[in-house]
């Protein structure tokens, strides 16, 4: 029987997730059997297991909100054995095999690098949406973001460059500045009060009209302070676990617009053709070597506890991946 990670109660992932064997039932019409190849451990997965994410599963459950797999059996006319797919809906990707409805996955080009394909669903699409779906920015425009070294942040830097936009990137540690500059960031600054004057000097009379916030607290306030009048401030994360407290002056005098973004809802709310075409473009950039997310380490499913411990450490050099099954 194929192996899968499971949890029977909500709690700290490294305490409640274990490796078990699962049954291998026959497929129903319209279903696929996938051999999962790689799956990342995202902050959303940690929250999912803790029971505090926007989606709460029935227990017992298999974690893993994204990943890539190969179709090994199909009861759908749209897929055949050998197709490379990414999951669009929660199917529990931290497993050797997954059975799911065909409309839960999306076929991507077969030559897409597997490790990067496993991380395609969330971070690249989040970055692309925030850069294109809230405001039409002319080429050469500035955008600003915090948590620039995060998975989304590194995608923002690369996609913005492909779209002809310039980025100002805030980080917490000085050693992060050079790697992001090498990635294509226009400017990388420490995320503290001293950054404000530097940013004003860099942008002259063209302050950023778009700010992307994954932190909250004082960092989010700095973004509000620096963006242009009627600028758009998009929150997609809360790494500091501190709420947004918006001074009245930013709403009254600057008339900034506050938005939230959750990629899961964007996928649900938009036409399947738009979603599919966007993913094909992102996969094309990945295959061309123009878009990539850093990988810290890779572990087999059997080392799930070690992998979770690493994923929950503060300072890493990229994403922790699970190698679910070999080719």
* C-beta separation of 169 from 180 below 8 A: yes
Determine the Cα–Cα distance for residues 296 and 322; give it in Å rounded to an integer: 11
DSSP-based three-state secondary structure for 287: helix
Can you give 84-110 as a three-state secondary structure string? EEEECCCCCCCECEEEEEHHHEEECCC
Determine the Cα–Cα distance for residues 259 and 249; give it in Å rounded to an integer: 17
- Across the range 286-304, mean pLDDT stands at 96
- What are the tokens at 179? 């790697």
Residue 259 has pLDDT above 90, yes or no: yes
- Backbone dihedral region for residue 140 (phi beyond 0: left; psi -120 to 50: alpha; all else: beta): left
Closest listed residue to residue 266, CA positions, set 108, 69, 112, 128: 128
**188-215 residue pLDDT tens:** 999 999 999 999 999 988 999 999 999 9
- Across the range 77-82, mean pLDDT stands at 96
**213-238 residue pLDDT tens:** 999 999 999 999 999 999 999 999 87
Looking at the DSSP bridge assignments, the partners of residue 26 are none
* C-beta separation of 290 from 158 below 8 A: yes
Percent of the chain scored above 70 by pLDDT?
A: 100
Question: Which DSSP state fits 172?
Answer: S
Rounded CA Rg of the chain:
20
Determine the Cα–Cα distance for residues 5 and 304; give it in Å rounded to an integer: 8
Q: So what's the pLDDT on residue 248?
A: 92
Residue 24 has pLDDT above 90, yes or no: no
- What are the tokens at 182? 């090498």
**How does the average pLDDT of the chain come out, rounded?**
95
Active site residue 104: no
Q: So what's the pLDDT on residue 196?
A: 92
**131-145 residue pLDDT tens:** 999 999 999 999 999
Determine the Cα–Cα distance for residues 284 and 287; give it in Å rounded to an integer: 5
Instruction: State the greatest distance between any 2 C-alpha atoms of the chain, in Å, as a whole number.
Output: 64
Q: So what's the pLDDT on residue 327?
A: 67
Question: Which DSSP state fits 67?
Answer: -
Question: Which DSSP state fits 227?
Answer: S
- Across the range 299-304, mean pLDDT stands at 97
Domains of the chain (ranges; CATH) run: 3-119+293-323 (3.90.180.10), 123-264 (3.40.50.720)
Closest listed residue to residue 294, CA positions, set 47, 76, 100, 40: 40
Q: So what's the pLDDT on residue 211?
A: 98
Question: Which DSSP state fits 27?
Answer: P
Distances (CA, A) of 303 to 19, 31, 43, 117, 247: 9, 29, 18, 21, 47
Q: So what's the pLDDT on residue 218?
A: 93
* C-beta separation of 3 from 96 below 8 A: yes
Catalytic residue among 53, 104, 279, 299: 53
pLDDT category at 157 given cuts 50, 70, 90 is: very high
Residue 34, preceding peptide bond in cis (omega within 30° of 0)? no
């Amino acid at each position: 029987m194929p192996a899968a990670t499971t949890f029977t109660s909500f709690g700290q992932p490294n305490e409640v997730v274990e490796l078990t064997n699962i049954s291998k039932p026959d497929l129903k019409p319209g279903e696929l059997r996938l051999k999962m190849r790689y799956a990342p451990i995202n902050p959303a997965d940690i929250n999912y297991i803790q029971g505090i994410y926007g989606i709460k599963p029935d227990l017992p459950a298999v974690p893993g909100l994204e990943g890539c797999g190969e179709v090994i059996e199909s009861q759908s006319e749209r897929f055949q054995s050998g197709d490379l797919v990414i999951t669009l809906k929660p199917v529990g990707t931290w497993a050797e095999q997954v059975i799911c409805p065909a409309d839960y996955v999306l076929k991507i080009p077969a030559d897409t690098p597997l490790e990067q394909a496993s991380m395609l669903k969330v971070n690249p699409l989040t970055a692309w949406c925030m850069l294109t779906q809230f405001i039409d920015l002319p080429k050469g425009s500035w955008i600003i973001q915090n948590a620039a070294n995060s998975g989304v942040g590194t995608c923002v830097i690369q996609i913005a460059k492909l779209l002809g936009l310039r980025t100002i990137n805030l980080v917490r540690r000085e050693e992060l500045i050079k790697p992001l500059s090498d990635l294509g960031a226009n400017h990388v600054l420490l995320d503290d009060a001293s950054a404000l004057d530097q940013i004003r000097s860099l942008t002259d009379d063209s302050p950023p009209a778009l700010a992307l916030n994954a932190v909250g607290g004082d960092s989010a306030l700095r973004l509000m302070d620096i963006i242009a009048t009627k600028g758009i401030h998009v929150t997609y994360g809360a790494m500091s676990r501190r709420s947004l407290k918006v001074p009245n002056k930013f709403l009254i005098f600057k008339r900034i617009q506050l938005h939230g973004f959750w990629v899961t809802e964007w996928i649900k709310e938009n036409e399947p053709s738009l979603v599919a075409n966007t993913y094909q473009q992102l996969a094309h950039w990945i295959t061309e070597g123009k878009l990539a997310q850093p990988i810290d380490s890779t572990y087999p499913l059997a080392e799930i506890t070690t992998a979770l411990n690493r994923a929950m450490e503060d300072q890493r050099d990229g994403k922790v991946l699970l190698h679910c099954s070999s080719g």
